[in-house]
Amino acid sequence: MQVERGSPCADPGAVWTLTPRDPRWPEPWLTIDTPPVRVRGGGDPAALSAPSIAVVGTRRPSPRGRAVAHRLARDLAAAGWTVVSGMALGIDAAAHEGALAGGGSTVAVMATGVDRTYPSRHVDLRRRIEAAGCTVTEAEDGVAPLPFVFPRRNRLISGLARGVVVVEAPLRSGALQTAFLGLNQGREVFAVPGPVDDDGCRGCHHLLRQGAHLAESARDVFDVLGRPRTSPGDAGGEAGPGNGAPLPLAGSAGRWIWDRLDLTGLRLSELRRSWAGSEAVWLEGLLALEMAGLIVRLPAGRVARRIWIP
């Protein structure tokens, strides 16, 4: 199997090095098993010492999983949490993107040397992460993302954070490993539930059976860990898409439709049969949701909440 080595770092001169003797060394790493002896990175190393939460999951998420990760990270970042992840495809990338959309900070713990970007398609994402937070790695220059590197990387993700949120993870996955590493490090672990027949969610359900906190929105994380700061625009995951569009007024058809939708989608015909009001009021509410950018049409006559914007 050929391993992608990643793209060369765009700005190899903007690299810093930290050791445990440096005052900027993050305190949580002082107490974990086998702490790193040296890390290198780009961006602002102060992001490593900010209150942080890890958001991790599968590299092959469903659209729903990607949306949930983006929303959670956005709302966590808007409340002042730094979002930590691994810059991998799928949930990791959605978490970094969500934190950036929330105007907050994010940290990418890489599995390669600081001179490489993996996956190579994330060169631009890395640049934006370093502008709002930092990337960091304990791997030496030239190290490729070989399988044995990722478990070591994962212990740094969980070790840096006060909690680990898992969004879509099979039973055998690096995300589940990160969660158990977090448990062993005394971190709080959260899991997002999913469809019971989806193999990509079985890892999350396993965590929930083992006592992980249920995470349906950022508010569930706040209930356990609080908020570093209160953002006027933070709605704990209840506010629709990232543009902050308001929900229709309570009691309207639009609000009635919204309250019954999820990320998976429902058939409009089924919703319409349950609506006791007039056709005109129904159409007015549906149009209000579409004009506000709060819903998206799906195949087979279904509609779902739109809470992630690519």
What digits encode the pLDDT tens for the residues 236-269? 444 444 444 455 554 578 888 888 887 778 888 8
CB 91 within 8 A of CB 61: yes
Domain with CATH 3.40.50.450 in the chain: 7-225
- Residue 1: the pLDDT is 35
Q: Are the C-beta atoms of 41 and 12 separated by less than 8 Å?
A: no
Sign of the torsion angle spanned by Cα atoms 228, 70, 239, 222:
negative
- State yes or no: pLDDT of 114 exceeds 70: yes
Per-residue pLDDT of 39-86, as tens digits, reads 999 999 999 999 999 999 999 999 889 999 999 999 999 999 999 999
Task: Give pLDDT, residue 80.
Answer: 94
Which of 230, 213, 231, 232 is CA-nearest to residue 162?
213
What is the average per-residue pLDDT within 22-37?
93
Q: Please tell me the predicted confidence (pLDDT) of residue 307.
A: 54
pLDDT tens digits for range 116-129: 999 999 999 999 99
pLDDT tens-digit readout, 196-241 = 888 989 999 999 999 999 999 999 999 999 988 644 344 444 444 4
288 pLDDT band, cuts 50/70/90, is: confident
Q: Exposed, middle or buried: residue 271 (CB in 10 Å: 0-12, 13-18, 19+)?
A: middle
Percent over 90 (pLDDT), the chain: 59
Q: What secondary structure letter does DSSP report for 244?
A: -
What is the pLDDT confidence band of residue 297, given thresholds at 50, 70 and 90? Answer: confident
- 139 vs 172: CA distance, rounded Å: 24
Mean pLDDT computed over 88-100: 96
3-state helix, strand, coil in the chain (%, to 5): 40, 15, 45
How far, in Å, CA of 177 to CA of 86, rounded? 13
Average confidence (pLDDT) over 279-287: 83
Q: Mean pLDDT, the chain, as a whole number?
A: 85
Q: Which CATH code for domain 7-225?
A: 3.40.50.450
Q: Are 128 and 70 in contact (CB under 8 A)?
A: no
Residues 6+ apart with CB under 8 A from 270: none
Residue intervals of the chain classified under CATH 1.10.10 are 253-305
- Cα 96 to Cα 116: distance, rounded to the nearest angstrom: 18
What pLDDT does residue 248 have?
A: 52
Domain at 253-305: CATH code: 1.10.10
Question: Per-residue pLDDT averaged across 165-169, rounded?
Answer: 96
How high is the pLDDT of residue 251?
A: 54
Measured distance CA(109)–CA(148) in Å, rounded: 15
